[in-house]
DNA sequence: ATGTGACTTGTAGTCCGTT
DNA sequence: AAACGGACTACAAGTCACA
């Protein structure tokens, strides 16, 4: 499994669990909505600093975004 | 702690454990010698696909490179 | 509310070196 | 063996209009 899919899947699940839409999550944490969308779909190849910023927004350790998602 | 330092510190430890120099590690796995050096020092901000490729070269899960290093 | 193509600007990634 | 510099090209960062 590609790491982009991995991070994207984890982000989508964790972001959903906060109860926020992509739009509100992006707005409240200073991201562009379409950029978050692209990462969740695995269409983007973000740098580790971007992933770090997302982890901070989710209030989790960056490592969690790289966990292998359950099938 | 910055995520670049985290990945760099982990890479340096894990790469050293393989017994390979930066130069040989890079050569044998198709990386640029100076780029590996930069990542280990935390001076670079690699994309997640590059970190994935490094993890594959180390034969570990990419998640391990994001673990919080021991102090 | 999300997906997608297109776009500009900045920097990731590579290659040549020297210290 | 590793840190570091300069220059270059490929592509990520960040944004927008529209479906």
Q: What is the pTM of this model?
A: 0.97
Residue with tokens 């959903």: A16
The answer to whether the beta carbon of residue B32 comes closer than 7 angstroms to any atom of strand C is yes
How many Å apart are B66 CA and D10 C1'?
26
Q: Mean pLDDT of successive 10-residue segments in chain A (71 residues)?
A: 97 98 98 98 98 98 96 73
Residue B70 has pLDDT above 90, yes or no: no
Note the pLDDT tens digit of each residue in B30-62: 999 999 999 999 999 999 999 999 999 999 999
Q: Which stretches of chain B are DSSP H helices?
A: 3-17, 22-29, 33-40, 48-58
Phi, psi of B59 (to 5 degrees): 60, 45
**A26 shares contact with chain B (CB less than 8 Å):** no
Residue with tokens 């010698």: B33
Nearest 5°: CA angle at A31, between A30 and A32?
130
36-65 on A, CB < 7 Å from strand C: 37-38, 40-41, 43, 47, 49
């Amino acid at each position: 499994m590609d790491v982009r899919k991995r991070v994207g899947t984890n982000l989508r699940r964790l972001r959903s669990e906060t109860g926020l839409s992509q739009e509100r999550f992006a707005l409240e944490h200073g991201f562009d909505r379409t950029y978050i969308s692209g990462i969740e779909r695995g269409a983007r190849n973000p740098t580790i600093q971007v992933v770090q910023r997302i982890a901070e927004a989710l209030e989790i350790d960056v490592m969690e975004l790289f966990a292998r998602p359950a099938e």
